[in-house]
Structure 1
Amino acid sequence: MNKSVTTDFRPMTRGHNFVVQSDGGNAKALVILPPFADEMNKSRHIISQFMRQATALGYSCILMDHFGTGDSEGDLSEASLALWQADLTLLVEQLAADGYRQLSFLAIRFGAIQLLDLLNQSNLALPVKHVMFWHPIFELKKFWQQFFRVKIAEQMALGEKLSQKELEQQLVDGEVIEIAGYPISPTFYASTYEGDFTLPGGLTGINPLISWFEVSQMTTPGANVQKYLSQLQQSCPVNFKMVAEAPFWNTTELASADTLLNASVQQLVQQDV
């Protein structure tokens, strides 16, 4: 990457969060909201490639590890969605103070849930020009269902039966559940249900350009995707595209996503014309 990349620990609501930031050379900031837990580990190399390519187009890309994740301070068991939202709001305030005048988001998987909550409940210090989704999750119930399956599969491998209902009850009873090495606390679990994930919600008020790239080998969107796409399209113009890639966030080995990257970069180029 020709443009400079810096790493720093930015002061946030309850500590210092680790931030990777590139310098695109102008006032356009692009904040990346990553997927959750191990999905982020399998996506980080793809995100790094996107940051390099977007930076070459003049975007300053910002990737922040949330409190309790990655190299940031704190433990995940002490985190909450409200805390992460407060940190993102503060990050945008810091970017405005740094001289940025325009804001875009790339929301990946769980990052889409976070973005909806952020836009529905926060007044951001910068105008949002563009929102890009990569295979977004808009339904919290679906997110937890997929994540709990990891724990259920772990227990099945040990010859033990476990249901999602039992896991949810353990959290309600105050227990911390470890899933694939990540401690999920009752506080964090409950905080996700306190978010506002109304769609299109805050997107209608800011009226940004919206791009949605759905990673699938199918040529047409499934019923669930079509439902949320229709909700968005009722209020916002959406550039929707099916991208034939492997689900890189969930593959056994690290996978490439060249088609997705090319489509995303092309969209950035087109919107700046």
Structure 2
Amino acid sequence: MMRSMRSSASLLPFFLPASAGQRYCLLHLPAPSQPPRGGIVYLHPFAEELNKSRRVAALQARAFADAGYSVLQIDLHGCGDSSGDFADARWPTWRNDVHLACAWLQQRVSGPLTLWGLRLGALLALDIARHPPVPLARLLLWQPELSGRRSMDQFLRLRLAARMLADNGQQEAAGHARAQLAAGHAIEVAGYTLAPELVQTIDELDAARLAPTMPVYWLEYSASATTLPAPAARLVQQWREEGTQAGAPLQLAAYGDGAFWSSAEIMECPQLLQATRQLCSDWLTEAGSVPHG
């Protein structure tokens, strides 16, 4: 049984008109008595990870709203409750969705805007930050994917594993899915139809080439909640070296709750929420802006 949370924040679900239909959104609003501090746009992870992480994302969004931030969660095109099938999803359309969400929130909220992404959503946030549609104050990255190609390889392994476990003799050679995509054919992975155009674009994304020029707050899972995985540690060092020249500070913290985006059970991750509160304390507690009126 999930515990209840007391909150004075309110929740507004709505559909945002967009290209090829509409996008399902959840807007977490601070209490009227809470001085507004700004806005946050949340970018969800890939495929089934979206569903696995909804609970934790909602808890964190509510915590941000309690701190005075308006938080917009958007289901990207072909995902969740938005228009389109996953087979229709394309990276440029997702970028346009983020542009739309940022512009929509900026027009309605006083204060700075933060882009918050989880997993592949964090890589999307880094991609957006190269040419942001509106001024961004900072990035919040939860367990960012560091390589688009590695992320897709991991996803494709779900297909290979399912074929190996199936008791129907339909085995598949390693690399067959990649060959099908390279030939321009869509494939099915874990119930999701994957378009070659989407995979090709994601393959080209590498966090090492996306060092942001704005403050970054990074949360990374570690079983010890203290030691970073080697790939993340190397990238952090590279970013800090590049960020020092660009004047973009990078703050980092680990948490030990677990990989909630792939867990068989829905998790709540109190350690992650606490680590986020501590890591982001400098802007979560800054003076609120004066409401327009």
TM-score of the aligned structures, taking structure 2 as reference length:
0.85
Alignment partner of 1:255 is 2:263: no
1:22: Cα distance to partner?
A: 1.0
Which runs of 5 or more residues in structure 1 are unaligned? none
Identity between Structure 1 and Structure 2 (%): 27
Q: 1-side partners of 2:237 and 2:172: how far apart?
A: 36
Mean alpha-carbon deviation: is it higher for 212-221 or for 132-141? 212-221
Aligned to 1:18: 24
1:196: Cα distance to partner?
A: 7.2
- TM-aligned CA distance change 1:200 to 1:237, over 3 Å: farther
Mean alpha-carbon deviation: is it higher for 23-32 or for 110-119? 23-32
Corresponding residue SS for 1:123: coil
Corresponding residue SS for 1:19: strand
Q: Which has the larger radius of gyration?
A: 2
Aligned to 1:123: 132
Paired residue total: 267
Which runs of 5 or more residues in structure 2 are unaligned? 1-6, 287-293
Q: 1-side partners of 2:71 and 2:198: how far apart?
A: 27
Aligned to 1:161: 171
CA contact (8 A) 1:4 1:23 kept: yes
2:121 to 102, 111, 120: 111
Corresponding residue SS for 1:144: helix
1:27: Cα distance to partner?
A: 5.4
Q: 1-side partners of 2:42 and 2:174: how far apart?
A: 30
Q: 2-side partners of 1:50 and 1:187: how far apart?
A: 33
CA contact (8 A) 1:116 1:199 kept: no
Q: Deviations over 1:166-222 (max 9, x none)?
A: 101111223221111111012222232465755444x21xx22x2111111143222
1:8 to 11, 14, 18: 14
Corresponding residue SS for 1:250: coil
Corresponding residue SS for 1:16: strand
Q: Deviations over 1:27-54 (max 9, x none)?
A: 5111111111111111100011111111
Aligned to 1:180: 190
1:56 to 51, 60, 66: 66
CA contact (8 A) 1:107 1:136 kept: yes
1:41 to 36, 51, 65: 51
Q: 1-side partners of 2:206 and 2:103: how far apart?
A: 21
RMSD: 1.9
CA contact (8 A) 2:152 2:202 kept: no
CA contact (8 A) 1:31 1:62 kept: yes
1:145 to 153, 162, 169: 153
Q: 2-side partners of 1:158 and 1:137: how far apart?
A: 29
Superposed counterparts of 1:204-215, under 5 Å? 204=213, 207-208=214-215, 210-215=216-221
1:11: Cα distance to partner?
A: 1.0
Aligned to 2:3: none
2:140 to 117, 120, 132: 132
2:229 to 222, 236, 243: 222
CA contact (8 A) 2:147 2:203 kept: no
1:13: Cα distance to partner?
A: 2.5
Q: Deviations over 1:99-136 (max 9, x none)?
A: 4441112211111211121112x3322x2222211111
Q: Which amino acid aligns with 1:245?
A: D
